[in-house]
Chain A
Amino acid sequence: MRPFDYQRAERLEHASQLAADADTLPLAGGTNLVDLMKLEVETPQTLVDISRLPLRSIAEEGAGLRIGALVTNTATAADPRVRADYPVLARAILAGASQQLRNRATTGGNLCQRTRCYYFTNIDQPCNKREPGSGCGAIEGIARIHAVLGTSPHCIATYPGDMAVALAALDARVEIARENGSSRSVPVRDFHRLPGDTPERDNVLEPGEIITAVTLPAPVGGTQLYRKVRERSSYAFALCSVAALVALEDNRFTRADLAFGGLAHKPWHDPRIAELLVGSEPSLALFDRAADLLLEGAQGYGENDFKIPLARRTLAAVLCEASGVGA
């Protein structure tokens, strides 16, 4: 690990000011950042420890819920309000990592976690995300875990998390403090970016901006599912995952908010899927048409070609479970 200067932020404004420097990174739970520093993928000159800032509470806000940026993944998944009203969020969090990691991992840090692309985490390999202009080793290399949607000629990495996939299905928002003391709020669906020609930027955070909370809209009830397909049954990243908020009345969908993990550089949400499903009677043929929309323009890179049919089947499996089709 490269040497760095360690500073503890006593106030949010202090953290924001320090984080405005391009060579400074905020540290919360550290479960991803410390690892990347060991690998010398991240080499900040200064670490600003924000872990003691008062952003640790889950509070009711309006009809929804506000989850502080430093609330641990464990605390969110165990919260009775989350379990009762937003089970898809609890399910997604519990499907990820191990108990030890969830005990330290935070809401804000989880949103900011970086890809597990093998070329990104190995500094001896080319990677446009880690070192812009150095090339992408994965496009013609080992690409089993890589993206099939929204890729660019510069990067085919995936966003690795589960929690954000559920937050995208829930249409939650990210609350962000800015260096000048003001704040802004961004839908989770717009927080992560596609790689384009700037894959070094995972999300829309600007220098000096720090996530302060995630806000959940009023509960919508219905059936909430998180289906994660992975290489082993626990403690593995998603090859493909689906977060689903589904409701039916008189055998027609009245809600079908879906988001997908493991397929792209961001949690994938396509509003056309809900437009197709809502008002329609559930059937395998309908689910196939939803998958056609999802996978329009999907591109495999050899080793990850399997993700395209896998996403189609996982989507169908979730909608079958939620609607009773094929039961």
Chain B
Amino acid sequence: MPIAINGEDYPLPADPRTSLLDFIRREAGLTGTKKGCDHGQCGACTVLVGGVRINSCLSLAVTNDGEEVTTIEGLGTLAAPAAMQMAFVAQDAFQCGYCTPGQICSATALLEEVAAGWPSDATADLGAAPELTDEEIRERMSGNLCRCGAYANILAAIREVAEEAA
């Protein structure tokens, strides 16, 4: 079975060593997803697989056959950007921009995860639905590093989208 990326099917790679990240960038030619550390530590390669965010650098492409992958290109376009993309621009939530696609994929998934009631390390009461406090957002974004240190504005961008949706 092929891998669907942003709705388009791509045949599995011949070499099983190919990471999902390299597959997205090289085979599909979608270079929005970035390679930072390539070891699951920085989050620049974050994409959604079946709607769930993962580090694409730590996933072998062949293990994702039949899956639906969404990258930054699948979230929005220049002509029709997603709310999270617009919020990142409005809040100046990046400087160099290298980590930004991963940050936006993560932030998009984060809102879904909170809506689904998934707890985090910052959730005080495991028996209650988590609230989207700043502490919660920071904890849930800790897998995405930003060497420019745009964290405060990334937080503001996520908060803006969450408040618009509320």
B16 touches A78 (CB 8 A): no
Q: How far is the CB of B62 from chain A (nearest CB, A)?
A: 6
In the bound complex, what is the Cα–Cα distance between A138 and B100 (angstroms)? Answer: 37
Given contacts A34-B60, A51-B63, contact A235 B143 (CB under 8 A): yes
Interface of B is mostly: loop
In the bound complex, what is the Cα–Cα distance between A5 and B110 (angstroms)? Answer: 36
Q: Mark A1-22, 1 if CB is under 8 A from B, else 0.
A: 1011110000000000000000
Which residues of chain B from 52 to 71 have a CB within 8 Å of any chain A CB? 52-55, 58-60, 62-63
In the bound complex, what is the Cα–Cα distance between A95 and B139 (angstroms)? Answer: 10
Indicate if B29 sits at the interface (CB-CB under 8 A). Answer: no
In the complex, identify which listed stretch (A100-108, A212-220, A238-246, A318-326) lies at the interface while the others stay far away: A100-108
In the bound complex, what is the Cα–Cα distance between A30 and B62 (angstroms)? Answer: 12
In the bound complex, what is the Cα–Cα distance between A91 and B127 (angstroms)? Answer: 12
Given contacts A4-B16, A101-B143, A234-B139, contact A35 B119 (CB under 8 A): no
Indicate if A90 sits at the interface (CB-CB under 8 A). Answer: yes
In the bound complex, what is the Cα–Cα distance between A301 and B101 (angstroms)? Answer: 42
Which residues of chain A from 125 to 158 have a CB within 8 Å of any chain B CB? none
In the bound complex, what is the Cα–Cα distance between A97 and B46 (angstroms)? Answer: 14
B59 touches A30 (CB 8 A): yes
Residues of A within 8 A of B60 (CB): 6, 27, 30, 34, 47
Indicate if A38 sits at the interface (CB-CB under 8 A). Answer: yes
Question: Across the two chains, which residue of chain A brings its CB closest to B17?
Answer: A1
In the bound complex, what is the Cα–Cα distance between A5 and B127 (angstroms)? Answer: 45
In the bound complex, what is the Cα–Cα distance between A77 and B122 (angstroms)? Answer: 13
Given contacts A6-B62, A51-B63, A83-B126, contact A90 B119 (CB under 8 A): yes
Residues of B within 8 A of A35 (CB): 39-40, 58
A-B contact pairs, 6 of them (CB 8 A): A49-B62, A74-B118, A78-B116, A95-B121, A100-B54, A235-B142
For the A-B complex with A77-B118, A98-B143 known, give 20 more contacts whose Cβ atoms are closer than 8 Å.
A6-B60, A27-B60, A34-B19, A49-B63, A78-B119, A83-B127, A84-B126, A84-B127, A91-B126, A94-B121, A95-B121, A97-B143, A98-B43, A99-B140, A100-B40, A101-B55, A104-B55, A104-B58, A104-B59, A235-B142
The 4 closest A-B pairs by CB, nearest first: A98-B143, A6-B16, A234-B142, A235-B142
